[in-house]
Amino acid sequence: MENKITTTTLAEMKARGEKICMLTAYDYPSARLLDEAGVEIILVGDSVGNVLLGYSSTLPVTMEEMLHHTRAVARGAKRALVVGDMPFLSYQPSDSEGVLNAGRFIKAGAEAVKVEGGASVAGRIKAMLDAGIPVMGHLGLTPQWIHQFGGYRVRAKTAEAAKSLLREAKELERLGVFSLVLEGIPWQVAKLVTENLKIPTIGIGAGPYCDGQVLVLHDMLGLSDRVPKFVKRYANLGEEMRRAVSEFLREVKEGKFPTREFSYEMPAEEAEKLEKGQEAEDF
């Protein structure tokens, strides 16, 4: 496809100072809409766990669930780069398990994978890159680490922690990740990291100075209950759904839907025959 977004396109965008847009999608119609709107990266996020599957965190999400959603998204995305988010325990146990699972994402239609963590997963990331699988890094408030972090708290709030995050970001860049998600860190830290890397940074709750921005689609469309400080609601589709469903309910109960306008009609002569037969009790 012409203008297909690749990892090279993203590097070129950073070089030109052009902002990159990434959104999550978990299904075919959303992927198609985002793609047509011009979003450069579609992330099949493990946020599918909280957002769509009703889990209280991303930790229970399985590879099977991620692959199911990745296949649907890949069918809808023609131009955007599709990134599959590696779920908890799909890469942590060993390099070989990480490579095999990353490969399953590629076979399902993803063009890259995202891995949470820095130095502790460097070996895993290198093994995936050696297998020819592009990897997006993810540092800061990495949700698969919440039990170790003690909850969803902003990370890298001290100068020392900021320096350590920058060191990890540089290490990921050195390994060869094509891009880096920065989540839940002060804008000053995101700015420092962005200015010190050649690869593009994509921020979420990381302020305005990243090379790109990502939001969870359901959060920005008003389809989820949670509204963290960094989420801007661009629509309130939740309210619109509630209104539409209430109207359907009322019209069905009152016999106002469906009218003949929404019904199929027999040819007139067949309807007449049917009516006559009915009179003659011809059944």
Residues that bind ligand KIV (CB under 6 A): 24, 43, 45-47, 85, 181, 183, 204, 214, 216
Cβ proximity to ligand KIV: between 204 and 245 the closer is 204
**H helix or E strand, kind and range, residue 107:** helix 95-107
| Least distance (Å) between residue 241 CB and ligand KIV | 21
What is the separation of C-alpha 49 from the centre of its chain, rounded to a whole number of angstroms?
11
| Least distance (Å) between residue 249 CB and ligand KIV | 32
Cβ proximity to ligand KIV: between 147 and 253 the closer is 147
Given 40, 111, 168, 183, which residue is catalytic? Answer: 183
- Measured from each CB, the residue nearest to ligand KIV is 45
The sign of the CA dihedral 122, 174, 109, 17 is: positive
Name the percent of the chain in helix, strand, coil, to the closest 5: 45, 15, 40
| Least distance (Å) between residue 216 CB and ligand KIV | 5
Q: Do 91 and 115 meet the contact criterion of CB atoms below 8 Å apart? A: yes
What values do phi and psi take at 253, rounded to 5?
-60, -35
| Least distance (Å) between residue 143 CB and ligand KIV | 7
Cβ proximity to ligand KIV: between 92 and 257 the closer is 92
Angstrom distance (rounded) from CA 40 to CA 184: 22
What values do phi and psi take at 85, rounded to 5?
-90, 120
Angstrom distance (rounded) from CA 171 to CA 136: 13
Q: How many CB atoms lie within 10 A of CB 97?
A: 15
What values do phi and psi take at 90, rounded to 5?
-90, -15
Cβ proximity to ligand KIV: between 187 and 257 the closer is 187
Known catalytic membership, residue 183? yes
| Omega within 30 of 0 (cis) for the link into 60 | no
Maximum C-alpha span of the chain: 92
Cβ proximity to ligand KIV: between 24 and 201 the closer is 24
| Least distance (Å) between residue 23 CB and ligand KIV | 9
Residues with catalytic roles: 183
